[in-house]
Structure 1
Amino acid sequence: MTRVLTRKGEATRARIVAGAATEIRERGVDEVRLEDVMAHTGTSKGQLFHYFPDGKEELLLAVAQYEADQVLLDQEPMLSNLTSWPTWLAWRDRLVERYRAQGVKCPLNGLLGQTGRRAPGAQAVMIGLMVRWQDAIAAGVRHMQATGDIGPDVDADRTAAALLAGIQGGVLLLLSTGRTDHLEAALDLTIDSLRASAVGRRSDERHDDD
């Protein structure tokens, strides 16, 4: 049964999750104990288990959701407003900067490893993140199609899926190599292809007029 929290309860739970996320980023998921989270957030053991009855596993899953949400928040306000090429390029730069700053330590990757990648809760976190991310990119493609900046024949959903796959592949290679080259290539080539789709369409229209 889903627990209904008061506004104060929601704020306390959010404070515990944010504090746990900070501890995990600083120490690593394997090193953080519930006592560390309690000390960081000023909460008692009773409070912690009130909000997370299943203990550390439930808390880690909540932190994984927090980190997944943060992935998208870090891309704002551009991700929700991919309505011009300057915004697309600013989003591209923000994304590269984010992962360059993150480096080879990915909190979400470590957390989902701890909660079990195949566990329903962990899968739901990742699926939710990818669906929201892909939907935002697809919405940007459709907007640019409406303004004529991307060709109408481009499949917005498949393009968003391919771009997201390229981003994830680039991030995976970053975790292995410490370099953002592959991430940048995936972004740049896809954006260049989208821009070219409109140019090619206009060129065809000019030839038809002739």
Structure 2
Amino acid sequence: MTPKGAATRQRIIEGTSVEVRERGAAATTLDDVCARTSTSKSQIFHYFPGGKEELLLAVAAYEADRVLADQEPYLSSLTSWEAWQNWRDLVVRRYRKLGVHCPLGVLITELGRKTPAAQALTGQLLERWQGQLRAGVTAMQTAGQISPSLDADRIAAWLITAVQGGVAVLLSTGKSDHLEAALDTSLALLRAKPELLHVGASQDPT
């Protein structure tokens, strides 16, 4: 693909992302995308031969990358409780700003149950995200801040579930209260009494 072609393809993806934010995936039409991106349907089908479904999957991949990028610089440096708190604040701000217009949430909700490709994309995002959080938990275990008897991978999975559960409520209500409560409680438990958590413990801490 030429640089010009790559730029056009990216413009279509980003424009579609904006449309999904405003309308939802189901209501977004190719005509809407053409108007938003100043492209024709023939151009869209040139870059996305599978039509709308292929385009929405590309948008979901774009938004998945943004999910992790928007958590930096803290996600890749979770080596202190201050960094964890900063990460928490960043996550809450991100989803509070997006509100009910979280494009990835909308796309996964509308596509994830229907297409194996969307399910695979979601799985890849969660695997990458969980790996980053697992590295942070392991760093805190090495520093003596989190019990080494806990399974770092399961703790990371628990934290992602806390985020996604809170986001699900936010998408339904427009309020971030549950997301904040889930993250605050999770971090408070890890920080105050890590030895009492039996999440995937490799041995009985008693």
Structure 1 length normalisation: TM-score? 0.84
Given candidates 90, 93, 116, the residue that maps to 1:97 is: 93
Structure 1 residues 147 and 28: alpha-carbon distance in aligned structure 2, compared to 1, 3 A threshold: same
Moved more, 157-166 or 167-176: 167-176
CA contact (8 A) 1:148 1:198 kept: no
Distance in structure 1 (CA, Å) of the matches to 2:53 and 2:34: 15
Q: CA 1:6 to 1:90, structure 2 compared with 1: closer, same or farther past 3 Å? A: same
Which is greater in Rg?
1
Q: Deviation of residue 6 (structure 1)?
A: 4.1
Q: Post-superposition, which runs of at least 4 consecutive aligned residues in structure 1 deviate over 6 A? A: none
**Pairing partner for 1:172 from 163, 168, 172:** 168
The amino acid across from 2:145 in the alignment is D
Please tell me the root mean square deviation across aligned C-alpha atoms, in Å: 2.1
CA distance in 2, matches of 1:126, 1:189: 25
Choose from 30, 36, 41 the match for 1:40: 36
The 1:113–1:149 alpha-carbon spacing in structure 2 relative to 1, beyond 3 Å, is: closer
Identity %: 58
| Mapping of residues 93-172 of structure 1, within 5 Å | 93-115=89-111, 117-172=113-168
Bigger mean CA offset, 55-64 vs 38-47 = 38-47
Which of 181, 186, 189 does residue 185 from structure 1 map onto? 181
Higher mean alpha-carbon deviation, 135-144 vs 32-41, is at: 32-41
Aligned pair count reads 196
1:14 aligns with 10
From 184, 187, 190, the equivalent of 1:194 is: 190
Structure 2 Cα separation of the partners of residues 19 and 78 of structure 1: 28
Question: How many angstroms does 1:154 deviate by?
Answer: 2.1
Deviation at 1:138, TM superposition (A): 0.6
Q: Helix, strand or coil for the counterpart of 2:124?
A: helix
User: What is the TM-score normalised by the length of structure 2?
Assistant: 0.85
CA separation in 2, counterparts of 1:162 and 1:84? 19
